[in-house]
Amino acid sequence: MNACLLRVAVTIGGVNLAGSPFEIHVNAGKTSACASHAEGSGWQRRVLVGDPLEFTIHAYDAQGNPQNQPTDQFVVTLTARSRDGYSIQLRPTYLGSGATLVKYEV
Amino acid sequence: MRCEGRCEGRSDHPFAPCPLSFTPRHPPYRRPSPSQVLQPGSYVLSVTLKGYHIKESPFNIVAGSGFFSDVLAGLPAPPPPWIPTGEGYASPRPTCTGALSGTRATAAPAPPRLSRNLATPAVPFARDGAPSPRPASPRPAPPRPAPARPDSPRPASPRPALDASSSSPRSPDRVLQLASAQLEAIRRRAALNGLGMPPPVEALVEALDAALGPAPLDRPTGNGPQRPGATAVPSPLRQFEASVAAAGAQMSLADDR
């Protein structure tokens, strides 16, 4: 089911029960990593040295609903392909509406 | 900091330093940097959520000077090599920096050039002028640097000077020449670090990445599924890279032999 606003009505003989109708807010489910994606200038195979780069992670649940809860902790890691292979963790910034911004520069 | 009022232990001089010191009762506040600066090179970028990769993660990032991307993005397609042009194929771009900037083409007129390309491979001819009975190799013979024997000393510079006026920026010969230089640099680096030679294909891909530079419209091709609606039509640049990579793989295999 998609995240939406439902209006539920229970009637008997065409007459609503007490408390009917009522509305249900259906929020997005847990964020699914394989349904989330990223985009931006920093999300490509070849980047320019000296340019500020950034990309935005868009979080979705398994049904494809955009995540509207700021509960996801994305781990963004850049691992050098050199001999030592050190790793750097980038700090993501939550923008709201399931969008997380990551900035870096090479 | 300027002290206002009557501070204890303060001298009468109005500009004397205030002896008071302020110690924050909270952890030192660090202003979040707008971006995190990394060293140029090759990286693997991964974004995970609870240990699971998101779409297209992880993938390799190569940070380069952008020589080829600048040339390809900012210049019109070169005319056929047999038609002389008065404008040249390249123009100086001040934003193009890096090791190749010194050998970049200028606005001088490009001479007419009869060159090979990947679409029309050269057909070897016998001495009498008749076509050779051997099938033509799909790989054009690139102007590669002199093959370095294992016992011979390697050249001092891993990147040979390129004659920018002799070939257009999109010339496959030019790309192969750059890729050859990059491959040689990779081999030298592997030898210096005491590492074994990486697999030929990976080394070639890395060399091509470094030779071609960034492609702004290039999307990563990770392991994750594609988004619905995403088109998988390869761009002309990707097709070109693939053809050059195929030619270079044969070249690398020939080297290994």
Q: What is the mean pLDDT of chain A?
A: 88
The chain B residue lying nearest A55, using CA atoms, is: B47
Tell me the C-alpha distance between B13 and B15, whole Å: 6
Answer yes or no: is A1 within a domain: no
Q: What is the mean pLDDT of residues A73-99?
A: 86
pLDDT in the model for residue A48:
83
Residue B51 or residue B9, greater confidence = B51
Which residues of A fall below an 8 Å CB-CB distance to B? 31, 33-38, 41-50, 52-54, 57, 59, 72-83, 88, 90-91, 93, 102-106
Could you tell me if residue A96 is inside a domain? yes
Give the CATH number for residue A77.
2.60.40.10
- Most confident residue range from A7-16, A82-91, B41-50, B98-107: A7-16
Q: How many domains does chain A have?
A: 1
Q: What is the mean pLDDT of chain B?
A: 55
- Which token pair is A30? 């847990």
Give, as one character, the DSSP assignment of residue A87. Answer: E
Q: What is the pLDDT of residues B164-186, one digit of tens each?
A: 444 455 577 777 787 778 777 77
Pairwise CB contact (< 8 Å): A38 & B54: yes
Tokens at A13, concatenated? 């003989």
For B138, the 3-state DSSP assignment is coil
Confidence category of residue A55, pLDDT binned at 50, 70, 90: very high
pLDDT in tens, B212-242: 654 444 445 444 444 444 444 555 666 766 7
The token pair that represents A43 in the structure block: 């999300």
Q: Looking at the predicted structure, is the pLDDT value of residue A74 above 70?
A: yes
With contact defined as beta carbons under 8 Å apart, do A1 and A25 qualify?
no
Question: Measured between CA atoms, how close is A6 to chain B, in angstroms?
Answer: 26
pLDDT of residue B4: 55
Complex ipTM: 0.85
What pLDDT, on the 0 to 100 scale, is given for residue B209?
A: 65
Calculate how close chain B gets to A81, using CA atoms only, in Å: 5
- The minimum CA-CA distance between B136 and chain A, rounded to whole Å, is 34
Q: What's the domain range around A57?
A: 29-105
Is residue A23 in some structural domain?
Answer: no
In this prediction the pTM is 0.41
B77-103 mean pLDDT: 35
Show me where the domains of chain B are located: 67-92+136-145+166-216+235-257
Of residues B41, B47, B61, nearest to A82 (C-beta): B41
Q: Does B48 touch chain A (CB under 8 A)?
A: yes
pLDDT tens digits, residue range B5-37? Answer: 555 555 566 565 555 555 555 544 444 444 566
Q: Which of B38, B62, B227 sits opposite A46 (nearest CB)?
A: B62
Residue A62 resides in a domain: yes
Q: How far is the alpha carbon of A82 from chain B, nearest alpha carbon, in Å?
A: 7
Helix, strand, or coil (residue A48): strand
Which residues 80-109 of B have a C-beta within 8 angstroms of A?
A: 97-98
Q: Is residue A59 part of a domain?
A: yes
Angstrom distance (rounded) from CA A43 to CA A56: 9
Average pLDDT over residues A57-64: 91
Q: Is B246 left (phi over 0), alpha (psi -120 to 50) or beta?
A: alpha
Query: In Å, how far are B53, B118, B203 from B208, measured between CA atoms?
Result: 26, 16, 9
Residue A66 lies in a domain: yes
pLDDT of residue B123: 39
**B106-155 residue pLDDT tens:** 333 444 443 333 333 333 433 444 444 444 444 554 555 555 454 545 44
Let me know: does B181 contact B222? Beta carbons within 8 Å.
Answer: no
Residue B137, judged by CB atoms within 10 A of its CB (0-12, 13-18, 19+), counts as middle
Round to whole Å and give the CA distance between B210 and B163.
19
Q: Is the pLDDT of residue B201 over 60?
A: no
Q: Would A55 be classed as within a structural domain?
A: yes
**Structure tokens that stand for A32 in this block:** 């699914």
Give the C-alpha separation, A88 to A82, whole Å: 13
In a domain, A7, yes or no: no
B39 touches chain A (CB under 8 A): yes
